[in-house]
Amino acid sequence: MFPFSLATELTTERLLLRPWTRGEVADVLADRRSPRWARDFPAEGDRVIAGVIAEQIAGAPEGSGSPDRPGSPDGSGDPADPGAHGHRLIVERESGLVVGSLSLLWPPSEGSVEIGYGVVASRRGRGYASEAARALVAHALTSPDVTTVYAEVELANPASLRVLEKAGLHRWSDDGATARFRATAAPKPPRP
């Protein structure tokens, strides 16, 4: 088994979940279009995440990483690589177009890590968000540092509630405005 890596590309039946490149972060922040994006990518949430990634890699040590290479495939977690921070683009395999993004809000806190996701309007209703979230949750739970993946969603957003349910997260609480969902790792057997 390979060691856990935030930069691992994940493939599902219809999607590829891969780390952002520095160039993609820069293009989103500069409002430059790419022919590899769905016509309505990036959405507002993608712009926010691109800004978060830019801040994370700006804090990396001088000269680390490569501007043309996504996150470190060896799991080293090079902070200059966008993939070292748990953010991924959602690529529709059939068309090769980026149709959204999702993130593990790394690092975990006391074994818990939050997941966030978004799919552009032109690709909603196809189950992409659930498919992507299910894969990323399963991957996160293979990390020795993660026992729980969670998400919070407004009760006024029934589509997102369904995404989390279909992704296999279980609703564990709500405060009348926000529902909290989580998935937990199976207990590890005791070591002999």
- 10-11 and 98-109 as β-strands: parallel, antiparallel, unpaired? unpaired
**Per this entry, what is the length of the chain?**
192
The structure's pTM equals 0.84
- Per-residue pLDDT averaged across 40-63, rounded? 85
Neighbours of 96 (CB within 10 A): 10
The 10s digit of each residue's pLDDT in 121-161 is 999 999 999 999 999 999 999 888 899 999 999 999 999 99
Query: Which is nearest to 97 in space by CA: 42, 41, 36?
Result: 36
The confidence score (pLDDT) of residue 74 equals: 32
Backbone φ and ψ of 108, nearest 5°: -65, 155
Residue spans of the domains in the chain: they are: 10-184
Fold of domain 10-184: Aminopeptidase (3.40.630)
Q: Is the pLDDT of residue 79 over 50?
A: yes
8-state DSSP, 135? H
Q: Which residues of 13-49 are buried (b: 16+ CB within 10 A; e: fewer)?
A: eebbbbbbbbebbebbeeeeeeeebbeebbbebbeeb
The confidence score (pLDDT) of residue 108 equals: 84
Query: Which is nearest to 181 in space by CA: 128, 115, 85, 110?
Result: 115
- Is the CA virtual torsion 66, 69, 70, 71 positive or negative? negative
The 10s digit of each residue's pLDDT in 17-42 is 999 999 999 999 999 999 999 999 99
Task: Find the Cα–Cα–Cα–Cα dihedral 113, 70, 81, 115, rounded to 10°.
Answer: -10
